[in-house]
Amino acid sequence: MEHRAILIRGDGTGPELADAVIRIIEASGVRIKWEDADAGEQCLLAGEQIVPERTIEAIRRTKVALKGPISTPVGKGSVSANVTLRKKLGARQRQQKKESDCRSQSKYHENQRWPVPASMSGSFQRVSRHRIQRCDRR
């Protein structure tokens, strides 16, 4: 079975990293038909948004995308591609509950903290998560 996915190569190191990830996926035996989509600096230079609407529609159509790193222009009033994608697609980063591992306990085991997104703005805050149960020492 062949899957369809959108490929946003990105800019800077993005194309090289995207190609490496594609080779890894191909080596796993998963068959994917990649459809190229634009985003990033080349779109801004062409007078478009950092993530054009045609790219958003392509992702909505296939429901899957691989995005390489995309630089955010500083001081030009542009929102990052990541924030744009999250807002337009209604995606949020999910916090996974960390399972306790008895082999790697720290002295702060009872009150561990993980970075989670504070908002769609891309800023981060540290929040205290649920208390982790102690491992039985035998």
Where in the chain are the domains?
2-89, 96-138
Range 28-32, long-range pairs (CB < 8 A, 24+ positions): 30/3, 31/1, 31/2, 31/3, 32/2, 32/3, 32/4, 32/5
Number of other CB atoms surrounding residue 112 within 10 Å: 15
Task: Give the tens place of pLDDT for each residue, 75-128.
Answer: 767 788 888 998 898 876 554 445 544 555 555 555 455 444 444 444 433 344
Instruction: Please tell me the class of the 2-89 domain.
Output: alpha beta
pLDDT for res 94: 53
Residue 41 has what pLDDT? 87
Whole-angstrom distance, CA of residue 47 vs CA of residue 60: 23
Which position has the higher pLDDT, 41 or 134? 41
Q: pTM higher than 0.85 for the full model?
A: no
What tokens does 18 get?
């995207």
